[in-house]
Amino acid sequence: MAIRKTAGYAWNLISLVGMILALTATGLIIGFVALEVITGVEHAYLGIMTYFIFPGMLIFGLLLVPIGAWRVRNQRRQAVIEGMVSLEEEIPKFPRLDLNEPARRHLFIFFVVATAVFVVIVAVAAIKGYEFTESTTFCGELCHPVMTPEHTAWSNSPHAKVKCVECHVGPGAAWYVKAKISGMKQLYAVVFHTYPETIETPIENLRPARDTCEHCHWPAKFYAGRQKNFYHYAPNEQNTPREIDLLIRIGGTPKTPNAMGIHWHIGREVHYISRDPKRLDIPYVAVSGNDGKITEYMSTDNPLTKEQIASSKKRLMDCTDCHNRPTHIYHSPAEEMDMNFVSGHIDPSLPYIKKVAVEILNRPYKTKEEGFATIASEIPAYYAKQYPKVAQEKAAAINQAVEHVKNVYERNFFPAMKVKWSTYPNHIGHFYTPGCFRCHDGKHKNAEGKVISKDCNLCHTILKQVQENVPAGTTPKNFVHPVDIGDEINRTNCSDCHMAEGHDVPGEGKTAEHGEAKKH
């Protein structure tokens, strides 16, 4: 009875349910936060419950308490007014706060203490909730399987320690609000399954790289050149190693009058028009000179009319026009096999292991499990049939190769979202996609007849090339193709052959070593 008297109007079913909900939510929030702090484990769905569902449950419970009390008080007051109930004292329209009465004083003290406790808990949940919405767990794992391909690619990239929001949102409240509004649309699409089977890129209205990338990659401190070795292995019986040592002409400080090299493109104002959403077909380029003069370059293959140029949207070139996959990087099966050879994960002495693995990986599979099963069965079966002695002597190496080929598939093929390594073009270089050759194709001319050069030495210089058809000890001035394709090397883009379905390089699907004819 004492508790009921102290509780007053709050002693009713609605208010009591609210109290139970609030206390339960408080306990769950404290427990789950403690679990996360102690274990260090951050899970997307636990985060949703801890920072959104339970705080919502707490606030809802707290709202029920005064609602129930007001409802009971209003009912009693109405009954007194209508004469249905007689009380010693009339119930006033608004509650009185008389701290001289012990029951009301105790209730007031309880209310103040409880309010302080709940405010602290809700504030902590709000701060942690904000941090959670900025985490890679929230961005990459909550919308499963929609974000599985991009999250997997990110987690295996050089930017795996960089949060999604640092690139996709950046600093400042304005872009944070824009991102959350966009996120609500994406949440709706996930809940009601209205998203496309394959998420389209590039992202429209992505924040310019000058506001995000350049916070870490500072143009004023760019260096002029970088030496890089590219290791490849031939798809023949010996998996013959090949090596290209390049000096890449990155360019020093780009925003100077004498800027040159690759980063010259962001030192000047370069605008372009693309015909397609993926920005692969670029028929128009405009370059602003140091004197402010604009030079226009038009593709001679399929030029735009003046009316089309005037009505088309011109994009200011920035880092992401070349580095369009700086984090969400997928690798072709051939690249992955090369990296596994270099790292020692796969034994290159296994005959034809690159060719066999690439062919199996490039087949279409309906599910990931089907791909795994095929890899696990066909690679050992190939050696058991073609090289029984190798199958016996190198059984452990074959099993290890199977596991790493499975890893290659898991990182670069996602049947559920109809995504594979070639779905999203990577504009760096020109091996698998047109990349640099979108503009540097020798076909973009200005009014004076000057063309945007296709000369490879503009961007890099060969320091060494080790290959079967390159004499030992010699350094070619220009790239030597491993298969003699004649003048096609100057007329055909690399990607025209390397991106062919089921093939990674000419001869890698049907190798010259197997006596197959070249397709040129």
Residue 435 DSSP class:
G
Residue 469 DSSP class:
T
What are φ and ψ of residue 285, in 5° steps? Answer: -135, 135
- Locus of tokens 């304005």: 174
Q: List, in order, residues 6 or more apart from 219 with CB less than 8 Å away.
A: 253, 254, 255, 263, 266, 267
- What residues in the chain have per-residue pLDDT under 70? 1-8, 79-96, 253-259, 500-520
Whether residue 286 contacts residue 271, with contact meaning beta carbons closer than 8 Å, is answered with yes
pLDDT digits (tens, 9 = 90+) for 468-479: 999 988 989 889
Q: Report the distance separating Cα 42 and Cα 23, nearest Å.
A: 24
Helix (H, G, I), strand (E, B) or coil at 33: helix
Both structure tokens of 330: 């997928």
The arrangement of strands across the sheet holding 226-233 comes to 226-233, 241-248, 460-466
Whether residue 19 contacts residue 65, with contact meaning beta carbons closer than 8 Å, is answered with yes
Partners of residue 286 on adjacent β-strands: 271, 296
Distance of CA 322 to the CA centre of its chain: 16
Distances (CA, A) of 499 to 8, 322, 339: 77, 18, 19
Q: List, in order, residues 6 or more apart from 408 with CB less than 8 Å away.
A: 331, 333, 336, 337, 340, 357, 361
Q: Report the distance separating Cα 103 and Cα 53, nearest Å.
A: 34
What are φ and ψ of residue 274, in 5° steps? Answer: -115, 145
pLDDT digits (tens, 9 = 90+) for 190-249: 777 888 878 888 877 788 888 888 888 887 777 788 899 999 999 999 999 999 999 998
Both structure tokens of 392: 């016996």
Residue 246 parent element (H or E):
strand 241-248
Distance of CA 76 to the CA centre of its chain: 60
Both structure tokens of 99: 């701290």
CA torsion through residues 434, 461, 480, 342, sign: negative
Taking each helix axis as running N to C, give the angle between helix 353-361 and helix 368-386, from 0 to 180 degrees, rounded to the nearest 10.
150
What would you measure as the largest C-alpha separation in the chain, in angstroms? 113
pLDDT of residue 506: 37
CA torsion through residues 123, 124, 129, 135, sign: positive
Whether residue 19 contacts residue 67, with contact meaning beta carbons closer than 8 Å, is answered with no
pLDDT of residue 93: 63
Partners of residue 228 on adjacent β-strands: 246
Both structure tokens of 386: 């073609």
User: Residue 149: how many CB atoms within 10 A of its CB?
Assistant: 25
pLDDT of residue 198: 83
Find, among 129, 138, 149, the residue nearest to 44 by Cα.
138
Whether residue 32 contacts residue 49, with contact meaning beta carbons closer than 8 Å, is answered with yes
pLDDT of residue 168: 86
